[in-house]
Amino acid sequence: MNPRGDSTSGSDGAAEPKRKSKKPRYSRFTQQELPACKPLLTPAIVVTTFAFIGIIFIPIGLLSLSASGQANCIPEQLQNDKVAFIQSSTTNKTCSRTLTVPKNMEGPVHIYYELDNFYQNHRRYVKSRSDKQLRSKASETETTNCAPEATTSDGSVIVPCGLIAWSLFNDTYSFAVNSKIIEVNKKNIAWLSDKEHKFGSDVYPKNFQMGGLIGGAKLNASIPLSEQEDLIVWMRTAALPRFRKLYGRIETDLAANEQITVTIQNNYNTYSFEGKKNLVLSTTSWIGGKNDFLGTAYLTVGSLCLFLAMGFIILYLLKPRTLGDPSYLSWNRNPDGHY
Amino acid sequence: MSRKTRFWTGGERRDAGRVGDIVKVEKDNFFPADLVMLASGYDDGLCYVETMNLDGETNLKLKQALDATSGLQADSGFQNFKAIIKCEDPNASLYTFVGTMEYEEQQYPLSPQQLLLRDSKLRNTDYIYGVVVFTGHDTKMYHEESDKPAHARTSNLNEELGQVDTILSDKTGTLTCNSMEFIKCSIAGTAYGHGFTEVERAMARRKGSPLMENEQSEENYEHPKLAVKGFNFDDERIMNGNWVNEPHSDVVQLFFRLLAVCHTAIPEVDEETGKISYEAESPDEAAFVIAARELGFEFYQRTQTNICIRELDPVSGMHVEKSYKLLSVLEFNSTRKRMSVILQDEEGKLLLLSKGADRLAQDGREFEDKTKEQMHEYADAGLRTLVLAYRQLDEEEYKSFNEKFMAAKNSVSADRDEKIEEAADSIERDLILLGATAVEDKLQNGVPECIDKLAQAGIKIWVLTGDKMETAINIGYACSLLRQGMKQIIITLDRPEIIRLEKGGNKDAFAKVTRLVKAGTGKVTLGIGDGANDVGMLQEADIGVGISGAEGMQFPMLYQEGVQNVLFSWLRILGWMFNGVCNGVMIFFFCTTALQHQAFRKGGEVVDFAVLGATMYTCVVWVVNCQMALSVSYFTLIQHIFIWGGIALWYLFLLAYGAITPTLSTSAFMVFVEGLAPAPSYWITALFVVVATLIPFFTYSVIRMRFFPMYHNMIQWLRFDGHADDPEYCQVVRQRSVRPTTVGVSARIDAKLHSQPAASRRESS
């Protein structure tokens, strides 16, 4: 540590036996001598950063906007409002609507149903499922979180159990142009990983929707869960109360001004919780469906940054920082000094 | 008492022996227990011990066996040794010991002179015999080996380091190198010696005075002369025998003769070269003897009764050998603050030669005022000063003194010391002043500057020392802690009054003082030391550090941020909390709006719980790490690894978590590989959210950095502008950054400027 001088001028400086030193080995890490870069927000860096962000962001914004513009979207509101009507099993719930295609829509046209005020993200709702049961027949009895839709009243397990499956959406749509039925492809609407890994091919619906209170759709007990794609899509719970889910695809193109007749089986009860149902037809671009937010946001931030860059250039030119000017020192602005 | 003789051969066992065992300790070994010394390799029962492990002092201490037992030699001599030792119980005081030994039906008093403390080391003596009096942990205070690596006791060390309010420092070996150099002297009112002390240099540097240039050239031609360790004196008027031509040559002669004889050092003649070196109790004593030798008064032999020196005879101009009969030695002690010898020269004249602190000579000789003034200057220059004086005695006077003195020495009562003191006082009076010496205890590099900075940063500094009080004060001057005109409140262990700056005591006191300071101020304390004798202090303080040079002029500026608590205030905490909440809200809002409910991929899939969650979390990870990166101004590999590695780790985690079986990963299964990574909207959303969220903080930093810089920002600017090494430039920046202080080099310069007369006097000298 310190160069401790020999205490005396004596001859004892000779050959003090070398003691085992516990002095830590020198390392640049412990001595805080690692090579370092010391970034500093200099005017050049600041202006460059802002300008760079602006220059990158504005094209991204434009690109996103145009991509979003290419995605067409026809939302159709469905508004029948009678809870009693929808709960009755005898009433005819078929209704039809006519839509006009505003622009050419190249196939595939994605068909979505949109629900509003439906909290699929509710804490208890989200948990009310059994992933093990969905995966394999062997785990059929694992229904831990599924109550009250775990077992039927006589105690036999429900497959698939839980509230999510129970509340499966069950409106159906069919489309016709000029009385000619347009085929709706309901295959491959679910994530591949879900079909292959989360829903077993040996798991068949059992005792489903047999209870007193009917939630939503019934399932064909002869089709394994891995092929029940509507269920699989539904079981991917949405994060927000307003969400869309893929219903199917129209593989053909739709020409502008075509009149599409949609026949709707209005089965799903959204009236009891004042929800809304929409039917959405949409094409996609590389960025997905139509949403101008990202595009405009990129444009906004990009221009803001360019503006800031210019602002700072002007600021730096008008008011260069004088080194050592005591008026910049914070304690000079704070009259009572040092403490 | 048992009479076993054990031969102690080395340090392999630390705790050994039972009380009453007789042990033999050989050269350069540690004592295994507290021993009462019986005999040594020297005929007169002397031995030298090094007590560095106990009090950190590296000098050798002289111990002496009782005359009655010192004659016992060889192992066989102890076969029939029978004695009864009565002594006090073990205690923590290193410098006191009271006891008696009954041997051959006679009572002998025991004193610290006979006590060899455990874990001190036998030096320069072939062997000693001793009887164990205390063993194991009952022995007198032993703490740690000096050779202990610094280690952080707690992990929040850095935080505390920033809040240090009071620094407690050990003196010896921490502030100073503990090596003395004879540098100046004042003889008969004339100042000799051209050398500059470190303190003078530091002041000259600060003042930018012409002294600096002189010093440059001085250093160049002075260099070859530094060959003699402990001697840095240069004055052609008295060197090389020129002193015979000085007006007061008789005084000069006596002055150096005194230096050559009034000490307890022992000469060692190197048989090959014939060169003489000295073993002294303290480094300053060695410096004196060396100075005397260099000026032609060579002390070369000491026997029980005589001191022999070679000196220049002014009449014949030849070197003659002179032998003085040593009658009594009145040893140094801290209350008397002086040491004297009484000797008889070859003509039979009795001389009392004395050296000590200022109040020694009262005779009012014509040069007394001048000497005082010069001593003042020496002290101001950071030197330890001693006054030299003498007196001629007549036979009668000496005889009566000797009786009184011997009686006092042989008494066993508790007031023995006082009696000895009284006797010494009676003879050490009416002394005739010769002059004063000034030795420099070399400071560690940069100590005055460092203390100055600490003082400017508003840190209180306490230097704790076991030194003699006046030495401590001198060191205080030397390291700019004290300066002339400051009011001194002094306390030693004997007088527990209000403590300020000075403290006398042993290492246990260090710890006590530390505790006191901590309790008294409630502030964070920092203990500095070399870890030898100040272990207690280091352990007691909130932060204990070994020494290393604190450097960099930015230190004081930065430090005020800590002391003023700028970086820790509730406003600041709220500010950061606000920042966090804002960022969180922004991330949430941007992500949900950007991904909303439309398809987020070409395939038409919509976002679900897992996809939206993973996207948001990606943004959070990026924003947190990037904000850290924006706040860090010193990037080493460590920062890079943790910041960028942290981000990479998030992706690795997503991959790993997504790869395990869906039973465990549930909704996170393949979320990155299948869902996020192939979707461009995920990437552009993340890019947008991260940048947009960081822009406000970035803009804030830019504005604050450029227009409202804090202390550390200003230092960054300095460094960036490349002016950090330009003192002028730094001065401009820091002109108001440091607080006015009452200690430190700056304060000394201020004081100098205000007292112009003193300044001009220095200039002329």
DSSP output for B721-764 = TT-TT-HHHHHHHHTTTS---SSSHHHHHHHHHH-HHHHHHHHH
The pLDDT value recorded for residue B748 is 53
Q: Which residue of A has its CA nearest to B278?
A: A10
> What residues of B are designated binding site for ATP?
584
Vertex B99 angle, CA B97 and B104, to 5°: 145
What's the sign of the alpha-carbon dihedral B283, B285, B291, B296? negative
Contacts of A338 in chain B (CB under 8 A): 458, 560, 564, 739
Q: What confidence category does residue B547 fall into, taking pLDDT thresholds of 50, 70 and 90?
A: very low
Longest dimension (CA), chain A: 118
The pLDDT value recorded for residue B616 is 95
Cβ separation of A328 and B709 shorter than 8 Å? yes
The pLDDT of B708-731, averaged and rounded, is 64
Cβ separation of A297 and B229 shorter than 8 Å? no
B566, B607, B663: residue with CB nearest A131: B663
Question: pLDDT tens for residues A150-188?
Answer: 888 888 889 899 999 999 998 899 999 888 899 999 999
The pLDDT value recorded for residue A11 is 38
Closest CA relative to residue B95, chosen from B419, B493, B529: B493
Task: Look at A23-37, A237-251, B638-652, B718-732 and tell me which has the smallest mean pLDDT.
Answer: B718-732
Contacts of B662 in chain A (CB under 8 A): 131, 135, 193, 197-198
Cβ separation of A10 and B601 shorter than 8 Å? no
The pLDDT value recorded for residue B481 is 62
What's the sign of the alpha-carbon dihedral A41, A43, A45, A47? positive
Cβ separation of A289 and B737 shorter than 8 Å? no
Q: Would you say A122 and A150 are in contact if contact means Cβ atoms under 8 Å apart?
A: no
Contacts of A46 in chain B (CB under 8 A): 702, 706
Q: Rounded to an integer, what distance in angstroms lies between the CA atom of residue B521 and that of residue B519? A: 6
Compute the nearest-CA separation of A154 from chain B (Å): 28
Question: pLDDT tens for residues A152-161?
Answer: 888 888 989 9
Chain B within 8 Å of A198 (Cβ-Cβ)?
yes
Using alpha carbons, list the distances in angstroms from residue A74 to A65, A71, A101, A172: 18, 10, 8, 17
- Whether B759 shows a pLDDT value over 50: the answer reads no
Q: What confidence category does residue B618 fall into, taking pLDDT thresholds of 50, 70 and 90?
A: very high
Q: Which A-chain residues 136-165 have CB contacts (< 8 A) with chain B?
A: none
3-state secondary structure (DSSP) of residue A288 = strand
The pLDDT value recorded for residue A310 is 92
CA dihedral B386, B389, B393, B399 (to 10 degrees): -10
Query: Which of residues B751 and B250 earns the better pLDDT score?
Result: B250
Question: pLDDT tens for residues B152-208?
Answer: 333 444 445 555 556 666 555 556 666 678 888 888 778 888 777 666 665 565 555
Using alpha carbons, list the distances in angstroms from residue B329 to A256, B264, B326, B339, B572: 123, 9, 8, 8, 67
Task: Look at A218-227, A254-263, B257-266, B532-541 and tell me which has the smallest mean pLDDT.
Answer: B532-541
Contacts of B602 in chain A (CB under 8 A): 284-286, 288
Cβ separation of A326 and B735 shorter than 8 Å? yes
Contacts of B596 in chain A (CB under 8 A): 240, 291, 293
Q: What confidence category does residue B105 fall into, taking pLDDT thresholds of 50, 70 and 90?
A: confident
Active site residue B363: no
Q: What is the DSSP letter of B209?
A: -
Q: How far is CA B384 from the centre of its chain?
A: 16
Expressed in angstroms, the distance from the first to the final Cα of chain A is 35
A108, A110, A288: residue with CB nearest B600: A288
The pLDDT value recorded for residue B492 is 46
Q: What is the DSSP letter of A195?
A: I
User: Please, is B123 exposed, middle or buried when counting C-beta atoms within 10 Å of its C-beta (0-12, 13-18, 19+)?
Assistant: middle
Cβ separation of B602 and A323 shorter than 8 Å? no
Task: Look at A268-282, A284-298, B357-371, B375-389 and tell me which has the smallest mean pLDDT.
Answer: B357-371
- Whether A212 shows a pLDDT value over 50: the answer reads yes
- Whether B61 shows a pLDDT value over 90: the answer reads no
Compute the nearest-CA separation of A324 from chain B (Å): 4
Q: What confidence category does residue B620 fall into, taking pLDDT thresholds of 50, 70 and 90?
A: very high
Q: Which A-chain residues 6-25 have CB contacts (< 8 A) with chain B?
A: 6-12, 17, 19, 21-24
- Whether B412 shows a pLDDT value over 50: the answer reads yes
A4, A35, A49: residue with CB nearest B173: A4
Q: Rounded to an integer, what distance in angstroms lies between the CA atom of residue B378 and that of residue B384? A: 8
Q: What confidence category does residue B117 fall into, taking pLDDT thresholds of 50, 70 and 90?
A: confident
**B92, two tokens:** 């923590």
Helices (H) and strands (E) counted in chain B, each on its own, are: 24, 27
CA dihedral B579, B585, B588, B591 (to 10 degrees): -80
**B231, two tokens:** 């001697």
Cβ separation of A135 and B720 shorter than 8 Å? no
DSSP alpha helices (H): ranges in chain A?
43-70, 83-87, 123-127, 131-135, 163-166, 192-193, 229-235, 293-318, 330-333
The residue ranges of DSSP E strands in B200-265, in sequence order, are none
Q: Which A-chain residues 56-115 have CB contacts (< 8 A) with chain B?
A: 57, 60, 64, 71, 73, 108, 110, 112, 114
The pLDDT of B628-655, averaged and rounded, is 91
Q: What confidence category does residue A243 fall into, taking pLDDT thresholds of 50, 70 and 90?
A: very high
Compute the nearest-CA separation of B363 from chain A (Å): 34
- Whether A118 shows a pLDDT value over 90: the answer reads yes
**B221, two tokens:** 């031609």
Q: Is the peptide bond before A108 cis (omega within 30 degrees of 0)?
A: yes
Cβ separation of A110 and B58 shorter than 8 Å? no
Q: Which of A42-56, B255-269, B459-473 is modeled with the greatest confidence?
A: A42-56
Closest CA relative to residue A159, chosen from A253, A65, A223: A223
The pLDDT of A285-312, averaged and rounded, is 90
Cβ separation of B280 and A10 shorter than 8 Å? yes
**B-interface mutation test, from A1, A2, A6, A8, most B Cβ less than 10 A away:** A8
Compute the nearest-CA separation of A152 from chain B (Å): 25
Contacts of A126 in chain B (CB under 8 A): 609
The pLDDT value recorded for residue A268 is 87
ipTM value for the complex: 0.85
Q: What confidence category does residue B645 fall into, taking pLDDT thresholds of 50, 70 and 90?
A: very high
**B-interface mutation test, from A7, A119, A123, A336, most B Cβ less than 10 A away:** A7
Q: Rounded to an integer, what distance in angstroms lies between the CA atom of residue B322 and that of residue B324? A: 7
- Whether B79 shows a pLDDT value over 60: the answer reads yes
Chain B within 8 Å of A47 (Cβ-Cβ)?
no
Contacts of B710 in chain A (CB under 8 A): 330
Cβ separation of B605 and A191 shorter than 8 Å? yes
Q: Rounded to an integer, what distance in angstroms lies between the CA atom of residue A293 and that of residue A68? A: 9
Chain B within 8 Å of A323 (Cβ-Cβ)?
yes
Residue B356 backbone phi and psi in degrees, to 5:
180, -170
Q: Which residue of B has its CA nearest to A24?
A: B149
Question: pLDDT tens for residues B285-297?
Answer: 788 888 888 888 8
The pLDDT value recorded for residue A146 is 87
Compute the nearest-CA separation of B262 from chain A (Å): 17
The pLDDT value recorded for residue A275 is 84
Q: Which residue among B21, B34, B119, B170 is the active-site one?
A: B170
CB pairs under 8 A between A and B: 269
B602, B687, B701: residue with CB nearest A286: B602
Cβ separation of A10 and B277 shorter than 8 Å? yes
Paired residues of B187 in beta bridges = B190, B435
The pLDDT of B426-442, averaged and rounded, is 79
Q: What confidence category does residue B734 fall into, taking pLDDT thresholds of 50, 70 and 90?
A: low
| Percent of chain B topping pLDDT 90 | 11
Q: Which residue of A has its CA nearest to B674?
A: A193
What angle, 0 to 180 degrees and rounded to 10, lies between the N-to-C axes of helices B368-380 and B469-478? Answer: 60
Q: Which of A223-227, B106-110, B111-115, B527-531 is modeled with the greatest confidence?
A: A223-227
Compute the nearest-CA separation of B104 from chain A (Å): 38
> What residues of B are designated binding site?
584
Cβ separation of A242 and B597 shorter than 8 Å? yes
Chain B within 8 Å of A220 (Cβ-Cβ)?
no
Query: Which of residues B284 and B572 earns the better pLDDT score?
Result: B572
**B723, two tokens:** 């002016």
Q: Would you say B49 and B16 are in contact if contact means Cβ atoms under 8 Å apart?
A: no
Q: Which residue of A has its CA nearest to B704?
A: A41
Chain B within 8 Å of A297 (Cβ-Cβ)?
yes
Cβ separation of A64 and B60 shorter than 8 Å? no
For residue B252, what is the enclosing H or E element? Answer: helix B249-261
Closest CA relative to residue B630, chosen from A29, A259, A49: A49
Task: Look at A219-223, B565-569, B729-733 and tell me which has the smallest mean pLDDT.
Answer: B729-733
User: For the whole model, what pTM was predicted?
Assistant: 0.56
Question: pLDDT tens for residues B14-51?
Answer: 444 577 778 888 887 888 778 888 888 777 777 888 77
Q: What confidence category does residue B368 fall into, taking pLDDT thresholds of 50, 70 and 90?
A: confident
Q: Which residue of B has its CA nearest to A327?
A: B708
Question: pLDDT tens for residues B569-612?
Answer: 788 889 999 999 999 999 999 999 998 888 888 888 999 889 99
